[in-house]
C-alpha cells in the first residue's frame, strides 16, 4: 500500500507531501491540481511499462494512459530550469531481509517492510536527464547521484555506518545514469561486488507499479452485444472498455467475493448484482451468452423483482457508469491500489453516498487501497459518517482539500477526528452552503411580504 507521495515542481505543484490511507479522497475546485497527483503515479507506471529502456520519462501520447506533452508542459510554471522530483513510500507485500553480501547468509544487514523510492529529473542539453535515483530502506539511503560538473558520470553511495559498496578489483570506470527512473545501470552488479541486493528494491518498485489500476472520469456507453474471446483482462480499462471481459473472466474462473468476516461468499457476478441492487439502481444484473458457442454476450437488468429483463442500454445511464467502478474494485488482485477520477459522474446523490460504502468494504475485505479524485460532497459525507459510526478508522480515511492561487496548487489535510468531524473545514469548501440557504430564505420572505402587499 502506498503510504506517502511527495512532489516538487510538477505541473501546478511547487511542492506537496501527502500521507495516504486505505481510502484517500482528493476534493477541491476544478483545475486546482487534484488530477495532477494521480497523473504523477500514472506517469511513473507508464514509464515502468515502456519498452524503450533509454526513455527517462514516458510522457505519453494519444495511446498512453496519460499524455503530458513535453517536459516544459509538465514542469511547474513551465520553468525548464527547474527539476521535477518525487518520493514514494509504500509497504512491501512481504518483509524484506538483506544479508551481508560479503558475509554469511545469516548475517542480516537490513530488514523491513517499508521502502522509499525517490528520483529527480531535469533537462540536460534539451533532453530529460535523471540527476538522482535513491532507495531508502531500514533508515538507510542507497543512492545513485550525478557527480558535480557537466559530465555524465554517477556515484553509488550510501549513508550507512555498517555497510559500504565495494568495487571489484580492476574495474575503476564510472557508472552511467539510472535506467528510466527506478533502475540502477546494468554495470552496477559487475562494478560493485556487494550490490546484488539493489535488484530487490527494483523488483519491489515494479511490483508496486504493477499493482496500480486506473479508471478515468469518462466511461464508455453500454453496448447491446459484447464479444469475448476468452481472454483475461488486466483491469477494466481507463474508460471501462473491458468491464464485461473482466466479469466473464472472473465468472469462468469461478471467482467468489465476500462482504466480510463470516458472511457467505457470492459469485463474482452475484457480488456486482448485489451492489447494484444495494445502491438502488436495479434489482438484478444478468450477463449471458446470446447463443451457445457464439462468444457474443448481452448485459441485461431487471429493474424490479417482477419486471422482465431489459438490455443495459435501455435503462438509466447511471448503471453503466458505476458498473466499471464496481467491477474494478472487486476484480483487481488483493493488495492493489486503485486510482479513480470522479466516479460519481451521472450518479444520483444517494448512489454517490453508497459508492463510499463500497470503497470502505473493499478496502477492508480485499486490502485494496483507493485514491479517489472527486467533487462529490455526498461521497465525502458518507466517509465521515462511517468514521463517526466506528465502521472505519480516521487513520485509514485520509481527506484532502486542493485549492489553487496564482497557478500554484496547495493541499490542506482535512483533519478527521474519531467522531467523523472535520476540524479545519476550509472556507467555501463545496461552495458557500450556508450563504445559499440564507439567500434563499431571505428571497422567500421578501416575495411573501410583497404578495401580502
Q: From the centroid of its chain, how far is CA 89?
A: 13
The number of C-alpha atoms within 13 Å of 239 and in the hemisphere containing its C-beta is 10
Identify the pLDDT of residue 148: 67
Identify the pLDDT of residue 434: 44
DSSP E strand stretches across 258-382:
266-267, 284-289, 296-302, 310-311, 337-341, 369-374
Identify the pLDDT of residue 29: 84
Identify the pLDDT of residue 118: 97
pLDDT tens for each residue of 86-114: 999 999 999 999 998 887 777 899 999 99
Query: Could you tell me if residue 59 is left (phi over 0), alpha (psi between -120 and 50 degrees) or otherwise beta?
Result: alpha
Identify the pLDDT of residue 173: 76
Residue entry with cell 516544459 = 72
| Residues in a beta bridge with 80 | none
Instruction: For residues 398 and 23, give the distance between their C-alpha atoms in angstroms, rounded to a whole number.
Output: 6
Identify the pLDDT of residue 318: 86
Show pLDDT as tens, one digit a residue, over the chain (453 residues): 999 999 999 999 999 999 999 999 999 888 889 999 999 999 999 999 999 988 999 999 888 899 999 999 999 999 999 999 999 999 999 999 999 888 777 789 999 999 999 999 999 989 999 999 999 999 999 999 887 655 678 989 999 988 999 988 776 777 899 999 999 998 998 899 899 999 999 999 999 999 999 999 988 889 999 999 999 998 999 999 999 999 999 999 999 999 998 899 999 999 999 999 999 999 999 999 999 989 999 999 999 999 999 999 998 778 999 999 999 999 999 999 999 999 998 899 999 999 999 999 999 999 999 999 999 999 999 999 999 898 999 889 999 999 998 889 999 998 888 888 888 777 666 665 544 544 555 566 677 777 776
Instruction: For residues 211 and 338, give the distance between their C-alpha atoms in angstroms, rounded to a whole number.
Output: 8
pTM assigned to the model: 0.91
Identify the pLDDT of residue 433: 53
Instruction: For residues 167 and 191, give the distance between their C-alpha atoms in angstroms, rounded to a whole number.
Output: 6
Instruction: For residues 404 and 411, give the distance between their C-alpha atoms in angstroms, rounded to a whole number.
Output: 9
Identify the pLDDT of residue 396: 93
Amino acid at each position: 500500500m502506498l503510504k506517502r507521495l511527495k512532489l516538487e515542481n510538477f505541473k501546478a505543484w511547487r511542492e506537496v507531501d501527502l500521507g495516504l490511507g486505505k481510502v484517500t479522497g482528493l476534493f477541491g475546485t476544478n483545475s486546482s491540481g487534484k488530477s495532477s497527483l494521480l497523473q504523477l503515479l500514472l506517469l511513473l507506471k507508464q514509464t515502468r511499462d515502456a519498452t524503450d529502456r533509454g526513455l527517462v520519462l514516458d510522457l505519453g501520447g494519444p495511446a498512453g494512459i496519460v499524455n503530458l506533452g513535453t517536459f516544459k508542459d509538465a514542469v511547474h510554471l513551465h520553468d525548464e530550469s527547474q527539476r521535477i522530483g518525487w518520493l514514494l513510500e509504500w509497504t512491501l507485500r512481504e518483509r524484506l531481509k538483506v544479508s551481508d553480501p560479503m558475509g554469511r547468509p545469516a548475517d542480516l544487514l537490513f530488514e523491513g517492510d517499508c521502502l522509499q523510492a525517490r528520483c529527480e529529473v531535469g533537462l540536460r542539453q534539451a533532453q530529460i536527464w535523471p540527476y538522482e535515483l535513491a532507495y531508502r530502506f531500514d533508515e538507510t539511503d542507497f543512492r545513485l547521484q550525478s557527480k558535480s560538473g557537466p559530465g555524465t558520470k554517477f556515484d553509488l553511495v550510501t549513508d550507512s555506518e555498517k555497510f559500504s559498496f565495494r568495487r571489484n578489483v580492476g574495474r575503476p570506470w564510472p557508472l552511467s545514469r539510472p535506467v528510466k527512473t527506478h533502475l540502477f545501470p546494468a554495470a552496477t552488479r559487475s562494478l560493485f561486488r556487494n550490490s546484488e541486493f539493489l535488484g530487490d528494491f527494483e523488483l519491489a518498485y515494479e511490483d508496486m507499479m504493477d499493482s496500480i489500476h486506473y479508471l478515468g472520469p469518462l466511461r464508455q456507453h453500454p453496448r447491446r452485444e459484447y464479444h469475448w474471446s476468452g481472454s483475461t483482462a488486466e483491469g477494466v480499462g481507463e474508460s471501462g472498455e473491458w468491464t464485461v471481459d473482466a466479469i466473464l473472466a472472473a465468472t469462468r474462473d469461478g471467482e467468489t467475493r465476500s462482504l466480510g468476516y463470516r458472511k457467505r461468499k457470492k459469485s463474482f457476478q452475484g457480488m456486482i448484482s448485489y451492489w447494484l441492487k444495494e445502491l438502488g439502481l436495479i434489482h438484478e444484473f444478468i450477463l449471458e451468452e446470446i447463443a451457445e458457442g457464439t462468444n457474443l454476450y448481452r448485459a441485461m437488468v431487471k429493474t424490479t423483482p417482477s419486471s422482465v429483463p431489459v438490455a443495459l442500454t435501455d435503462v438509466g445511464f447511471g448503471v453503466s457508469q458505476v458498473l466499471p467502478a464496481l467491477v474494478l474494485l472487486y476484480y483487481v488482485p488483493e493488495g492493489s491500489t486503485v486510482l479513480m477520477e470522479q466516479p460519481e459522474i451521472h450518479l444520483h446523490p444517494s448512489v454517490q453516498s453508497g459508492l463510499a460504502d463500497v470503497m470502505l468494504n473493499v478496502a477492508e475485505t480485499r486490502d485494496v487501497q483507493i485514491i479517489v479524485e472527486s467533487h462529490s460532497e455526498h461521497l465525502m459525507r458518507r466517509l465521515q459518517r462511517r468514521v463517526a459510526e466506528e465502521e472505519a478508522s480516521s487513520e485509514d480515511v485520509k481527506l484532502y482539500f486542493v485549492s489553487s492561487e496564482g497557478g500554484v496548487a496547495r493541499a490542506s489535510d482535512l483533519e478527521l477526528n474519531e467522531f467523523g468531524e472535520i476540524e479545519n473545514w476550509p472556507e467555501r469548501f463545496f461552495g458557500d452552503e450556508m450563504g445559499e440557504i440564507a439567500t434563499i430564505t431571505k428571497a422567500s420572505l421578501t416575495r411573501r411580504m410583497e404578495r401580502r402587499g
